[in-house]
């Protein structure tokens, strides 16, 4: 089984919704956090949201109130529900596994990455 695999991306119109999923073998590890990042062409990979093994969550300001990160421990899956999508949300979305702690804003904090899933939002 792959460490992390994302799914659920696609193309939607502005105002639409998508739910991204992140699953993989890393979910058997304890004391972790799972972060979602996004990267648009020619731009840096930006942190979007994170959830830790205690269920605590955090979001970048631009997605607060629109995106929700959650986890289903029975399915070893983390979700990113994205509502009211905007064209500026268009990017490749990646989930990543890292240890618990305070470094989850930085891509370098994470040990495993998925291959990414593309989200395209048209106006």
**Gap between the Cα atoms of 76 and 110, Å rounded:** 18
pLDDT tens by residue, the chain, 123 residues:
788 999 999 999 999 999 999 998 887 777 689 999 999 999 999 999 999 988 999 999 999 999 999 999 888 899 999 999 999 999 999 999 998 888 899 999 999 999 999 999 999
The torsion defined by the Cα of 31, 1, 69 and 37, in degrees rounded to 10, comes to 90
**Gap between the Cα atoms of 113 and 111, Å rounded:** 7
């Amino acid at each position: 089984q792959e460490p992390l695999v994302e799914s659920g991306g696609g193309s939607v119109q502005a105002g639409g919704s998508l739910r991204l999923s992140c699953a993989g073998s890393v979910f058997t590890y304890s004391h972790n956090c799972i972060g979602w990042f996004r990267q648009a062409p020619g731009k840096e990979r930006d942190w979007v949201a994170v959830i830790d093994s205690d269920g605590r969550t955090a979001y970048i300001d631009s997605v607060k109130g629109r995106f929700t990160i959650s986890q289903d421990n029975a399915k070893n899956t983390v979700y990113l529900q994205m509502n009211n999508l905007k064209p500026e949300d268009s990017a490749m979305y990646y989930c990543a596994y890292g240890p618990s702690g305070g470094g989850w804003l930085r891509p370098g904090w994470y040990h495993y990455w998925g291959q990414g899933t593309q989200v395209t939002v048209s106006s």
